[in-house]
């Protein structure tokens, strides 16, 4: 994303705004300007040979100090510069753009007329694409190749996705373990609502341990499993208690009568019904907190993969 001040800076230098970033040719190089918390950056999409990389990296420390950089990275296909955001950031960026950028050609960095993919000269058949958030000007054939590679990558990701089935099995198994813990604690006569958090935690962990890909679309599945596990936990706890009474002869019958006893209790004992509903509601609240807490930390580690290739104006 780019803020208004940096956007204005970019517009003054003839860059275009699209998809939350500014891009275009700056001093003869294809650049993308964006910013995040605590930094503003310039991504130069350019071919850099090994010599170029080495010579530029030798300057890294000097540049970092001079322009207060967070990062200075050089790679065969780009030069990346991040400026520490603070007082006078735009002045430092302007100085960098005016003083150092023109020297990049002397270091051997390919200009906007060179395709960063193949190193060939760009002709009228070139296209500009936003690839993982960065504007890249390249041959349309080279762009096709990247898109095909990404498609292959997505197909591999889809194969990984087929583990979602196993993930659900894991979620159910772990959820049952959580439910049994609940039932035991309940049968011993303690309050169990907070154990909903354990059930929620176990469901997500089970899904992950069995190879499920953690992503937002799985939330409804988790919700269904968690609800079933909490309800199961509650009635399993009652079954444990009833089983205990039957064993001791306090209630007449066999273990096989337990489901019908629970049915009778639900139908004829308003107090029992109320406590069941209360336990389940509190359990679900805690379960939601457990799922949310774990889920948020897991999803933040994978969300960066979801960016796609977007067409930009040349
Ligand atoms: Zn090319």
Across residues 62-69, what is the average pLDDT? Answer: 96
* Cα 59-60-64 angle, rounded to 5 deg: 120
Ligand 1 mean position, distance from CA 259 (Å): 70
Q: Quote the pLDDT of residue 156.
A: 73
Ligand 1 mean position, distance from CA 31 (Å): 17
Q: Quote the pLDDT of residue 27.
A: 95
Predicted confidence band of residue 293 (pLDDT cuts 50, 70, 90): confident
Q: Taking the CA atoms of the chain, what radius of gyration do you get in angstroms?
A: 30
Across residues 261-268, what is the average pLDDT? Answer: 92
Ligand 1 mean position, distance from CA 115 (Å): 5
Q: How far apart are CA 264 and CA 268, in angstroms?
A: 6
- Strand-by-strand arrangement of the 310-312 sheet: 134-139, 126-131, 310-312
Is residue 176 a contact partner of residue 228, using CB atoms and an 8 Å limit? Answer: no
Where are the chain's structural domains? 4-157, 164-301
Across residues 113-123, what is the average pLDDT? Answer: 93
Structure-token pair, residue 57: 């990296």
Look up the CATH architecture of domain 4-157.
Answer: 2-Layer Sandwich (3.30)
How much is the mean pLDDT over the chain?
Answer: 90
Beta bridge partners of 136: 129
Angle formed by the axes of helices 258-268 and 219-247, nearest 10°? 100
Ligand 1 mean position, distance from CA 140 (Å): 7
Structure-token pair, residue 218: 């799985």
Is residue 231 a contact partner of residue 185, using CB atoms and an 8 Å limit? Answer: no
**Per-residue pLDDT tens digits for 155-213:** 776 666 668 889 999 999 999 999 999 999 998 988 888 899 999 999 999 998 898 87
Q: Which of 66, 15, 20, 68 is nearest to 44 (CA)?
A: 15
Is residue 263 a contact partner of residue 175, using CB atoms and an 8 Å limit? Answer: no
Ligand 1 mean position, distance from CA 121 (Å): 8
**Per-residue pLDDT tens digits for 21-60:** 999 999 999 999 999 999 999 999 999 999 999 999 999 9
Ligand 1 mean position, distance from CA 76 (Å): 14
Structure-token pair, residue 76: 């065969």
Q: Which of 31, 12, 11 is nearest to 312 (CA)?
A: 31
Ligand 1 mean position, distance from CA 228 (Å): 55
Ligand 1 mean position, distance from CA 126 (Å): 8
């Amino acid at each position: 994303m780019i803020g208004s001040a940096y956007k204005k800076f970019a517009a003054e230098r003839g860059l275009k705004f699209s998809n939350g970033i500014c891009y275009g040719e700056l001093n003869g190089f294809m650049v993308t300007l964006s910013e995040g918390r605590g930094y503003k950056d310039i991504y130069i999409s350019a071919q850099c040979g090994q010599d170029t990389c080495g010579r530029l990296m030798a300057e890294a420390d000097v540049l970092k100090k001079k322009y207060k950089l967070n990062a200075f990275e050089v790679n065969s296909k780009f030069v990346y510069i991040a400026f520490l955001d603070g007082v006078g950031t735009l002045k430092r960026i302007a100085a960098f753009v005016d003083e150092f950028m023109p020297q990049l050609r002397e270091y051997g960095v390919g200009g906007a007329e060179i395709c960063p993919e193949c190193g060939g000269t760009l002709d009228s058949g070139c296209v500009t694409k936003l690839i993982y958030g960065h504007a890249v000007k390249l041959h349309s054939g080279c762009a096709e190749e990247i898109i095909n590679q990404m498609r292959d990558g997505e197909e591999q990701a889809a194969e990984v996705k087929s583990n979602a089935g196993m993930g659900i099995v894991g979620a159910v198994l772990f959820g049952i373990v959580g439910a049994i813990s609940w039932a035991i604690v309940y049968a011993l006569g303690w309050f169990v609502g907070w154990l909903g958090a354990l059930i929620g935690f176990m469901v997500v962990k089970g899904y992950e341990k069995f190879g499920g890909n953690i992503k937002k679309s799985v939330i409804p599945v988790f919700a269904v499993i968690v609800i079933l596990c909490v309800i199961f936990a509650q009635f399993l706890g009652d079954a444990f208690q009833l089983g205990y009474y039957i064993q001791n002869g306090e209630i007449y019958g066999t273990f096989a009568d337990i489901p019908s006893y629970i049915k009778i209790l639900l139908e004829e004992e308003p107090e029992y019904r109320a406590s069941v509903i209360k336990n389940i509601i509190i359990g679900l609240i805690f379960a939601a907190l457990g799922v949310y807490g774990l889920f948020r930390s897991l999803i933040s580690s994978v969300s960066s993969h979801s960016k796609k290739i977007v067409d930009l104006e040349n």
